[in-house]
Amino acid sequence: MSREGIRELQSKRLQETVRRVYENVPFYQKAFQEIGLEPGDIKSVDDLSKLPFTVKQDLRDNYPFDLFAVPKSELVRVHASSGTTGKPIVVGYTQNDINNWADLMARCFAMAGATKDDTVQIAYGYGLFTGGLGCHYGAERLGATVVPISGGNTKRQLMLMQDFGTTVLACTPSYALYLAEEAVHMGIDLPASQLRIGVFGAEPWSDNMRKELENKMGIDAYNIYGLSEVIGPGVSMECQCKNGMHINEDYFIAEVVDPETLEPLPYGQKGELVFTSLLKEAFPVIRYRTRDISVLIEEKCDCGRTFVRMERVAGRTDDMLIIRGVNVFPSQIESVLLAIGETEPHYQLVVDRKGAMDDLEIWVEVSDKMFSDEIRRLEELERKLRNEIQSVLGISAKIKLVEPRTIPRSEGKAKRIVDKREL
C-alpha cells in the first residue's frame, strides 16, 4: 500500500475508534469532555495530537474491566500483567480481536520467513502473559506445526527441539541464550540441528546479542515487539532485512513523543513510543504511552514493505537508570560486553549509593576457560571493560568478573538491574 493509502486507511479507522471509545468508555468520554473535544473533531491522522494520552496508571485505576468498550458477554478472553505486587493490569479481547491478532502474528512469522512447513516451538510463557498464546494463535493461523511447550524445563525443550525437528524458536532473547548454553553442556550441536529462525522479543536486547545468538544456534534471529496494553506480541516485527521492525500500521498508529514535554517528534528523532489501536473492539487504546524508547524510520525498506519501521527499543523510561545524572540503559552494557567478546553476555547492574555518590557495579560472567586463566589476563580484561564502558556511557563503573553460571538465569524476562538505592 502507498503511504498515502495507509494514511487514508488509518484516518478512517481512527475516526471509528474515537467514536467507539467516546460512546462506550466513560473514562475516554470524560477525558474528551475535559478538553472540549468531540469525536467529530478527529477527521484524520493529522488530528491525532488533539487526543489525550493514556498511561498505565489509567489501566490500574479502571481495574479490572472499566476501560472495555464492549459488554462482558462479548469478551472471549482476558490477559493480565504478572505483577507481583498490587493489582495487575487487565486487557480483553472479542472474537474479532482474537482473529485479528492471529492474522497479525501469522504475518509476523511470515516476515521472518516461516511457512506452514515449519515447526514452531513456543517457549514464551503461556497463561495470563500475552507472549505464549499470542504466538500460538499466529503460528497456527500460518498453518505451521505448533509445539506449545511454554517457558522453562530447559532440558526437555532441547530434547523435543531435536526429536520434533523444531525449525522456529519463539522466546525471550535471554532465554534463547540460556538454551544455547545448556545445549553446549548437554553436547547438543544446535547449529547442526534443523533450527533456522528465532523470533525473539519481550525485552530490550542489542544487535550484538543477535549476532551471538545467530552464531551459537545457527539461526537467523529476528526482533518482535509488542505489549499487552496495545495487543500483545505483533505490534511490529523485523523483516529479513533486519534493519528495524515494521509497525503493523493497518492496526496501529505509532508516534514518538518527547517523554518530558509530550510533544510529538518527527521521524528520525528518539523518544517515547505511543500507540493508538485502530481495530480493537474490546480494549481500544488512545495514544498509549509505552515507556519504550525508540526512533521511527520512514525511509522505504529494501524488502519493499511501506510500513514505517521502529528501531530496536533502546530501553524503557522506567528501566532507565539515572546514575550521577547520566541516563544508562542495560542494553548499552550488553552491547559493550558482546563487542569485546571475551565474556559471556550474562550481566547484572548493581547500583548503590555511597554517601551522596551513586555507585555502579557491573557483574559480568567470564567463560570457564578465561576463569581458569592467570590473574593478569583477568585484570587486563577488567581494565578493558572499564575503559570501554567509561567511553560509551560517559561515567565510570566498577567491573566485577564473576565465575561462570553465577548470575541467575531467567526463563522469561531477564533481571538486569539490582538497584539498592533508596530514592
What's the order of all strands across the beta sheet hosting 309-310?
A: 145-147, 119-122, 168-171, 197-201, 220-227, 232-238, 245-247, 309-310, 296-297
Total number of residues binding Zn ion (CB under 5 A)? 5
What DSSP string runs through 176-196?
Answer: HHHHHHHHHHTT--GGGSS--
Contact string 98-137 vs Zn ion (x = CB under 5 A)? ----------------------------------------
Torsions phi, psi for 351 (to 5 deg):
-110, 135
SS3 state at 207: helix
Q: Among 76, 78, 188, 301, which residue interacts with Zn ion (rule: CB under 5 A)?
A: 301
Q: Which residue has the cell 534493519?
A: 243
Which of the stretches 189-197, 200-208, 240-248, 258-266 binds Zn ion when contact is defined by CB under 5 A?
A: 240-248
Smallest separation (angstroms) from Zn ion to the CB of 242: 9
Which of the stretches 67-75, 218-226, 299-307, 319-327 binds Zn ion when contact is defined by CB under 5 A?
A: 299-307
Which of the stretches 11-19, 20-28, 233-241, 267-275 binds Zn ion when contact is defined by CB under 5 A?
A: 233-241
Smallest separation (angstroms) from Zn ion to the CB of 252: 17
Residues 6+ apart with CB under 8 A from 391: none
What DSSP string runs through 330-361?
Answer: HHHHHHHHHHH-SEEEEEEEEEEEETTEEEEE
Return the number of the residue (304 or 355) whose C-beta is nearest Zn ion. 304
Return the number of the residue (18 or 239) whose C-beta is nearest Zn ion. 239
Return the number of the residue (291 or 309) whose C-beta is nearest Zn ion. 309
Smallest separation (angstroms) from Zn ion to the CB of 110: 12
State how far the Cα of 226 lies from the Cα of 348, in Å rounded to an integer: 24
Smallest separation (angstroms) from Zn ion to the CB of 305: 5
Smallest separation (angstroms) from Zn ion to the CB of 245: 9
Return the number of the residue (6 or 395) whose C-beta is nearest Zn ion. 6
Which of the stretches 40-48, 207-215, 305-313, 408-416 binds Zn ion when contact is defined by CB under 5 A?
A: 305-313
Residue 239 binding Zn ion, by CB under 5 A = yes
Return the number of the residue (107 or 346) whose C-beta is nearest Zn ion. 107
What the block records as the C-alpha cell of 200 is 525473539
For 97, which DSSP code? H
Return the number of the residue (305 or 316) whose C-beta is nearest Zn ion. 305
Nearest of 191, 68, 386 to residue 79 by alpha carbon:
68
Residue 20 binding Zn ion, by CB under 5 A = no
Which of the stretches 1-9, 78-86, 164-172, 300-308 binds Zn ion when contact is defined by CB under 5 A?
A: 300-308
Count Cβ neighbours within 10 Å for each residue of 30-66 and write b for 16 or more, e otherwise. ebbeeeebebeebeebeebeebeebeeebbeebeeee
Return the number of the residue (239 or 257) whose C-beta is nearest Zn ion. 239
**Cα 137 from chain centroid (whole Å):** 18
CB 104 within 8 A of CB 248: yes
State how far the Cα of 242 lies from the Cα of 289, in Å rounded to an integer: 25
Smallest separation (angstroms) from Zn ion to the CB of 302: 6
State how far the Cα of 210 lies from the Cα of 306, in Å rounded to an integer: 24
Smallest separation (angstroms) from Zn ion to the CB of 120: 21
Residue 405 has a CB neighbour count (10 Å cut-off) of: 13
Q: Among 160, 188, 303, 340, which residue interacts with Zn ion (rule: CB under 5 A)?
A: 303
State how far the Cα of 206 lies from the Cα of 284, in Å rounded to an integer: 31
Q: Among 76, 110, 241, 350, which residue interacts with Zn ion (rule: CB under 5 A)?
A: 241
Return the number of the residue (179 or 297) whose C-beta is nearest Zn ion. 297
Return the number of the residue (56 or 242) whose C-beta is nearest Zn ion. 242
Total length of the chain? 423
Return the number of the residue (111 or 190) whose C-beta is nearest Zn ion. 111
Residue 305 binding Zn ion, by CB under 5 A = yes
Smallest separation (angstroms) from Zn ion to the CB of 250: 15
Which residues lie near Zn ion (CB under 5 A)?
239, 241, 301, 303, 305
